[in-house]
Amino acid sequence: MDSFLFSFFKAVSFFGNEMALIVLITLISLILLFSYNKKKLSAFILFNYLITIGTVIILKYIIQKPRSLLALVEEKTYAFPSGHVALATTTFLLLFFIAKYVKNKFWKIFLEIFAIFWLVSTIFARLYLKVHDWPDIVTSIFLAVFIFILALTIPSFKKSFLAKEIKK
């Protein structure tokens, strides 16, 4: 086992866990709401993360798939679906969605590269640490994409409304 990879992927998993992301996303949403008056965007971000987290938790307790005995780190929840990957996918989708409307080329490219890096790192972290297998990963990606698309069907979150708010 490579100690650098182990440490790196453990750090990725730490920053991608549900509690860390809830705190981060709440702060980002509050900043968007109160500093930039981006009500719809703030609500859209919170909605995506909270529905994704809630759905993952419910599915974990319905399915109750145990973790691998070969896991390199101890996890206290069930394996299926992967909350880390579902939330990383949500982050990826939101950053790409926002980047589409960012005028500054540097920030647009930065958001897109970070989104790709975060999703790929999270997927490989969960596989490397042997806490998930491919079915957990793929299902989690589809789950997050489904929730994101579903959110865009809510009248307040229509692309045109969000696009106007991002461009302000």
Domain ranges in the chain are 3-167
Three-state SS annotation for 59-95: HHHHHCCCCCCCCCCCCCCCCCCCHHHHHHHHHHHHH
pLDDT in tens, 22-52: 787 888 788 877 877 777 778 888 888 889 9
Q: DSSP states of 39-51 as a string? A: HHHHHHHHHHHHH
Model pTM? 0.81
CA distance 133 to 131: 7
pLDDT in tens, 60-118: 899 887 777 776 677 777 778 888 899 999 988 988 887 877 778 898 898 889 889 98
CA distance 16 to 147: 18
Q: Is the pLDDT of residue 55 over 90?
A: yes
Q: Is the pLDDT of residue 17 over 90?
A: no
pLDDT value at residue 71: 65
What confidence tier does 155 reach under pLDDT thresholds 50, 70, 90? Answer: confident
What Cα–Cα distance (Å) separates residue 120 from each residue in 61, 113, 156?
Answer: 26, 11, 31
